[in-house]
Structure 1
Amino acid sequence: MIKMVALDLDHTLLTSTKTISKVNELELKKLHEQGIKVVLCTGRPINAIWKFIEQLELLQADDYTITFNGGLVIRNHDHHELAKTGMPKQQFRAIYDYAKQNDFPLDILDFQQVYPITDLKPSIYRQMLAAKMDFVPTEFADLPDESFSKGIMAAEKNVLDEAVAKMPAEVAQQYHIVRSQDQILEFLPVNSDKAAGLEQLLKQFGWDFSNLMAFGDAENDAGMLKSAKIGVAMGNATPAIKAIANEETVTNDEDGVAVFLKKYFD
């Protein structure tokens, strides 16, 4: 029995104009009122998507969000941290050295803000994110000695294509690397993804993946689509994601989430 619906944001729940359509909003509110857990799954911190949480009224005592692509499971109303996975500064040394040698950009995120690494090529992550989040330009050597959620390479598609193609195996094996968008390449802790965060949350309620439905469109959604009892690829999803999913709906600009939910739950 499906008891939880997990939703990627960009190009899945959100339209091309970065909004939740009224059709999707009403359908998700209806399910939430019926006791189905609605869980937003994002690479961003919770403050950067707070308007969506408020729009969907996900503010009950047991409403949670998966943030930092699974790195942090957080309760919405009081920001209590249920589960957290990070990396120390020195774990980013390999990808920093690779970026410096090949003139690639790098942003490193803790669980509250972004550190654009200023002794590397400038990044376009701030323009792409377009969200309420603090950016603190910093040289790699001056990063604080704390736990970080992930690294980001944000650049034009051809630049990231090159970064992926040239990356040595000894660098790649130190991270869980996902291409969340054509212009964003993410470096997460090994074995950390949206599925890992959702597993922790499902356990909180005494459930497992047989109780999960998940929607996604891109590489960073693969784990949760593969693990969920019902993994739904958007009509605009990549071919690889459509191959992983066991269901498919129409595109994010055609209310694909609501279309599938209505068909399934009705």
Structure 2
Amino acid sequence: MIKMIALDLDNTLLNSDKKISAANEAELKKLHQQGLEIVLCTGRPINAIWHYIEQLGLDGDNDYTITFNGGLVVCNNDKKSIFKRGMTRTSFQPLYDYAKQHGYPLDILDFSQVYPITDLKPSDYREMLKGNIKFVPTAFNDLPDESYSKGIMVADPAVLDHAVANMPAEVVNRYHMMRSQDRILEFLPLNVDKAYGLGALLSHFGWDFSNLMAFGDAQNDAGMLEKAQVGVAMSNATPEIKKIANDETVSNDEDVVAVFLQKYFK
């Protein structure tokens, strides 16, 4: 029985204008009022998507969000975490060395802010994110000794393709590397993805993946679509994601969530 619905944001729940349509909003609110858990799953921190949480009314004591692509599970009401997994500053040394050698930008995120690494090529991540999160430009060796959620490279798709193709094993084997968008390459702790965070949240409720429905479109959604009882790919999803999902629906500009949910729960 489906008890939880997990939703990627960009190019899934959000349309091309980065908005939740009225039809999607109404359907999710209806199911939430009927007792289903509605969980937004994102690579961003919760404050960067708070307006979507408010729009959907997901601010109760039992409402949660998967943030940092599974590295942090947060209770929406009090912003306290029920699950967290990060990395040390020294964990990023091989990635920093590779970026410096090849002239790539790098942003490193803790669980509340972004550190654009100033002794590397300038990054466009701030302009791409456009979210409510603090940016603290910092040289790599001056990063505080604390827990970090992930590293991010932002570049043209062809540049990232080249970076991935030529990445040394020391880097590849140290992180869970994923392409969340064409211009964004993310480096998370090994084995951490949205499914990892959802597994922790499902256990919190005493449930498992047989109780999960998930919607997504890109590489960083692969784990949750594969493990969910119902994994739904958008028609605008990548070919790889469509192969992983066990169902497919319309595009993110066609009230995708409402269309599928109305049909499924009919």
Q: TM-score, normalised by structure 2?
A: 0.99
The answer to whether the aligner puts 1:133 opposite 2:108 as a matched pair is: no
Question: Whole-Å Cα distance in 2 between the matches of residues 122 and 229 of structure 1?
Answer: 42
| Bigger shift: residues 168-177 or 105-114 | 168-177
Q: TM-score, normalised by structure 1?
A: 0.99
Q: Secondary structure at the match of 2:7?
A: strand
Report the equivalent of 1:45: 45
**Structure 1 residue 102, shift from structure 2 partner:** 0.4
Consecutive unaligned residues in structure 2, runs of 5 or more: none
RMSD of aligned residue pairs (Cα, Å): 0.5
Q: Deviations over 1:168-221 (max 9, x none)?
A: 122111000000000000000001110010000001111000000000000000
Alignment length (residue pairs): 266
Report the equivalent of 1:105: 105
Report the equivalent of 2:89: 89
Q: Is the 8 A contact 1:235 1:256 kept in 2?
A: no
Name the aligned partner's letter for residue 227 of structure 1: K
Report the equivalent of 2:265: 265
Report the equivalent of 1:28: 28
**Structure 1 residue 156, shift from structure 2 partner:** 1.1
Consecutive unaligned residues in structure 1, runs of 5 or more: none
Q: Is the 8 A contact 1:117 1:137 kept in 2?
A: yes
Name the aligned partner's letter for residue 114 of structure 2: V
Report the equivalent of 2:9: 9
Name the aligned partner's letter for residue 129 of structure 1: L
Question: Whole-Å Cα distance in 1 between the matches of residues 236 and 149 of structure 2?
Answer: 28
Report the equivalent of 2:191: 191
Question: Whole-Å Cα distance in 1 between the matches of residues 35 and 59 of structure 2?
Answer: 13
| Bigger shift: residues 152-161 or 37-46 | 152-161
Q: Is the 8 A contact 1:74 1:83 kept in 2?
A: yes
**Structure 1 residue 98, shift from structure 2 partner:** 0.4
Q: Is the 8 A contact 1:230 1:246 kept in 2?
A: yes
Report the equivalent of 1:166: 166
The answer to whether the aligner puts 1:147 opposite 2:147 as a matched pair is: yes
